[in-house]
Amino acid sequence: LTAQKLLIVGGGIGGLGAALAAGRRGFDVTVLERAPEFVEIGAGLQLAPNATRVLKGLGVLDSVLDVGVLPDRLVLASAISGDELTSLDLRDFDQLYGGPYVVIHRSDLLSILYQACVSEPNIELRPGQAVVEVNPMSSTGGGVHVRCADGSEHFADALVGADGLRSTVRTLVDQSEPIFSGYVAYRGALPLEQVAAPTTTNDVMAFIGPGIHFVQYPLRRHTLYNQVAVFRSQRWLDGRDDWGTPEELDERFVPACDHVRTALSSIQRNARWPMYDREPLDNWRAGRSVLLGDAAHPMLQYLAQGACQALQDGSALAQSLATARETGSEVEWALETYQQQRIEPTARVQRHARIWGELWHADGLLESLRDVYLRDRDPADQRFVAPIYSHPPATESDQAARNLAGSTGNR
């Protein structure tokens, strides 16, 4: 059975990105989304070149650039002194990596993907469909079958679990729980004029310090401003029930510099996000179902890569499915090829994100050593980011799938 009809569970950035990638390659796609509408939270998102190359390939990068912001630099500064520690120049990224570095409001990106999906006649978007049961091989005809909370049933040739951190589809291959990092985030985008202390530069700022960090950047053509405050919850470590509260947020930022504390006064406090990840898996596939995005590889946000990797997953999956169709290979082959391409690089980013978080939040000797290193670092040095931002050039992954098709035949 080669795949023609795909079911995607979850209509976040990963699910809609995959739907568009597959729909543009002529597959019939149905996206089942639990929420009554396709929405994202009101906060910003950084999109590195590995994601903007995918968006370019999907034909939506111009729309993204139209509402996004092209920052000049990523800056790491001390949350305690406010002093700049190091920076990464982003302005030549189009030449260096074949895609720009963009910051965008999440709902702007989701609505661009949504509109692009709506304009493809072979993509059906179904909100209000919470998948509660998944059969990776149905008893009828060898395809996949899911049941939703309202009793409705859906059949397809292949199933993609893009249903996020607490994925239902993932339970086919893994029963573990997400791992709480002990860190909590408060975040949100505000009209620029309501922000207590915006920075004046066109940079993504990350103020890092012992057990805390604070991120700021402009959004939506500089009319909105994104802020994220993250702290290690001492109260959670102490076993208290009242952990991660706005009071603890204020307590934890007491040592921060004036700029960060002033900025903190205008952070949104109505919702908190405890930060989770999981250990990398070595298999995302069960029969004709496979995982993608946070369902497959939830990661801590310190490298700003979760959504970027999800977009890359969707592109790689659509390429594998298309190669299978061209070569007459089975669905299982396409899903296997996809996971062979994506598990190793996403696992690396998952692991590195944890280490990056430890460096950001270091104190004592490690903090001092880090700062010495960062202050001496050349802003043009791309060694840490190049493996992530340049992986893989689109044509290479296409070629890898073809090579695999040639070497394994039609299984």
State the minimum distance, in angstroms, from the CB of residue 29 to ligand FAD: 14
**Cα-based distances in Å from 155 to 5, 140, 141, 145, 273:** 9, 9, 10, 5, 35
User: Residue number with the shortest CB distance to ligand FAD?
Assistant: 306
* Torsion from C-alpha of 237, 242, 245, 249, nearest 10 degrees: -40
State the minimum distance, in angstroms, from the CB of residue 87 to ligand FAD: 17
Q: Is the distance from CB of 212 to CB of 254 less than 8 angstroms?
A: no
State the minimum distance, in angstroms, from the CB of residue 142 to ligand FAD: 23
Nearer of residues 46 and 320 to ligand FAD, judged by Cβ: 46
DSSP codes of every residue in 71-99: -SEEEEEETTT--EEEEEE-TTHHHHHSS
Cβ contacts of 243 within 8 Å, gap of 6 or more: 184, 233, 235, 236
Q: Which of 6, 7, 8, 15 binds ligand FAD (CB under 6 A)?
A: 15
- Note whether 335 binds ligand FAD by CB under 6 A: no
Strands 5-9 and 28-32, by their bridges, are parallel
- Note whether 112 binds ligand FAD by CB under 6 A: no
- Note whether 19 binds ligand FAD by CB under 6 A: no
- Note whether 248 binds ligand FAD by CB under 6 A: no
Q: Residue count at the site for ligand FAD (CB under 6 A)? A: 33
Dihedrals φ, ψ of 76, to 5°? -100, 125
Q: Which stretch binds ligand FAD (CB under 6 A): 6-14, 173-181, 256-264, 279-287?
A: 6-14
- Note whether 218 binds ligand FAD by CB under 6 A: no
- Note whether 41 binds ligand FAD by CB under 6 A: no
217 is catalytic: yes
Q: Which of 8, 14, 87, 385 binds ligand FAD (CB under 6 A)?
A: 14
Nearer of residues 385 and 404 to ligand FAD, judged by Cβ: 385
Cβ-count burial 28-67 (b if 16+ within 10 Å, e if not): bbbbbbbeeebbbebbbbbbbbbbbbbbbbbebbebbbeb
Distance CA 383, CA 385 (A): 6
- Note whether 388 binds ligand FAD by CB under 6 A: no
- Note whether 11 binds ligand FAD by CB under 6 A: yes
Q: Is the distance from CB of 169 to CB of 131 less than 8 angstroms?
A: yes
State the minimum distance, in angstroms, from the CB of residue 325 to ligand FAD: 25
Interface with ligand FAD (CB under 6 A) = 9-15, 32-35, 45-46, 130-131, 162-165, 168, 185, 187, 228, 273, 293-294, 301, 304-308, 310
